[in-house]
Amino acid sequence: MPQYAINDQGVQALKGLSTRLPEQIGIIDHAGISLVDCCQSNAGGLGPHASAMTSVVEEITQETKSTTAPVMELKENVDRLATKYQAIISNNRHGG
How far is Cα 23 from Cα 44, in angstroms, rounded to an integer?
34
The greatest distance separating any two alpha carbons of the chain, rounded to the nearest whole angstrom, comes to 72
Q: What is the DSSP letter of 79?
A: H
85 pLDDT more than 70:
yes
Give the pLDDT confidence of 13-29 residue by residue, as tens digits: 999 999 999 999 999 98
Task: State mean pLDDT over 57-74.
Answer: 89
Q: Are 82 and 11 in contact, with CB atoms under 8 Å apart?
A: yes
**What's residue 20's pLDDT?**
95
